[in-house]
Amino acid sequence: MSINKVRESLYRLARLLGDVNAIQKGKVGRRIGRRIAGKITGRGLRRLFR
């Protein structure tokens, strides 16, 4: 297994644990909003630095 596959798996696990944590704390809406904002920001930066 390559280092990139391990890294990808760890990031997925971290994202899943963050979702579980948000559910436990009752802050799912805030997490969804931040994820959407992060995706939009990432796409904008990707276009900016091409």
What would the pLDDT profile of 18-40 be if each residue is shown by its tens digit? 999 999 999 999 999 999 999 99
User: Does residue 4 carry a pLDDT above 90?
Assistant: yes
Average pLDDT of the residues of the chain: 95
Identity of the residue numbered 21: N
Give the per-residue pLDDT at 1: 82
| Segments forming the whole domain that contains residue 19 | 3-48
Instruction: Identify whether the C-beta of residue 31 lies closer than 8 Å to the C-beta of residue 18.
Output: yes
Collapsing DSSP states into helix, strand and coil, what is residue 26? coil
Cα(14)–Cα(21) distance, integer angstroms: 10
Give the per-residue pLDDT at 33: 96
| 35 token code pair | 């994820």
Cα(12)–Cα(20) distance, integer angstroms: 12
Cα(30)–Cα(1) distance, integer angstroms: 35
Domains: count for the chain: 1
> Model's pTM, two decimal places?
0.72
